[in-house]
Amino acid sequence: MEALFTTLLRPARWRVTSLVANLQQIGLNAVPIIAMLTFMVGAVIAFLGSTVLSTFGASIFTVQLVAFHSCANLPCCWRAILMAGRTASAFTAQIGLMKANEEIDAIQAMGLNAVELLVLPRVLALLVALPMMAFIGMISGILGGLVVCALTLDISPTMFLTIMQNNVGLEHFWVGMIKAPVFAFLIAVIGCLEGFKVSGSAESVGEHTTASVVHSIFVVILLDAVAALFFMEMGW
């Protein structure tokens, strides 16, 4: 961990080629599934919310419900959980297989820093990718709610955006964006550390890959709950 922080503070030692390759694998390849997932979740929240709120004659508040959840909660948490299952497991399997095949020992024997070579590009890539995915998730979630409101509540897109602008503050956007890099760092570090714990067997690779997913999801849900309580006390 100390080596990771030391290297993070020295941009000259960042490996740009590896960073770009990891960024494409982690971020760009996941854009379609994130956009589709958050669009569907936003649509479901709008549909269920309007069903409940209409019984009280308050279906217009569906707009605030969708906008709040799409900005503050859905994109970052859903994306982080998906990353925990998709990316943390990949990091653990990749590094773990190298550890089992003694490739990491060979890297160190050549005088190279394994943390700088293997961990840093993955951490930096996820730090860039997750906030980007969170923003895409916000837009997709709002679009999903907008479509449902237009089809079922006769709320035009213009009215939807006007209500959202008047009732949802910018702080809700920042709540989601602030959590993203924290989740990204923890998911990447957990995935890489579990990879370094692998022993020389294929069974160990499977065990630590499973452990990285479980630990990452647990940390994401726990920190999201803590963040929700904190921002609620802050009035955000």
Q: What percent of the chain has pLDDT over 90?
A: 12
Instruction: Copy the structure tokens of residue 78.
Output: 């859903």
- Residue 64's pLDDT band (cuts 50, 70, 90): confident
Q: What is the mean pLDDT of the chain?
A: 83
pLDDT surpassing 80 at residue 5: no
Residue 1 covered by a domain: no
- Stretch 170-178: mean pLDDT, rounded? 80
Which pLDDT does position 9 carry in this prediction? 61
pLDDT surpassing 90 at residue 23: no
Which pLDDT does position 92 carry in this prediction? 92
What range defines the domain where residue 186 resides? 14-233
- Residue 147's pLDDT band (cuts 50, 70, 90): very high
pLDDT surpassing 70 at residue 102: yes
Instruction: Copy the structure tokens of residue 47.
Output: 């549909």
Which pLDDT does position 152 carry in this prediction? 87
The candidate with the shortest Cα–Cα distance to 99, out of 114, 85, 84, 116, is: 114
Position 73, amino acid: N
Measure the CA–CA gap between 29 and 136, rounded to whole angstroms.
13
Measure the CA–CA gap between 112 and 56, rounded to whole angstroms.
65
Residue 46 covered by a domain: yes
pLDDT surpassing 80 at residue 8: no
Residue 9 covered by a domain: no
| Lowest mean pLDDT across 19-28, 75-84, 117-126, 187-196 | 75-84
The backbone torsions φ and ψ at residue 218, rounded to the nearest 5 degrees and listed phi first, read -60, -45
Report helix, strand or coil for 10: coil
What is the 8-class DSSP label of residue 200?
S
**Global pTM value:** 0.82
Count of domains forming the chain: 1
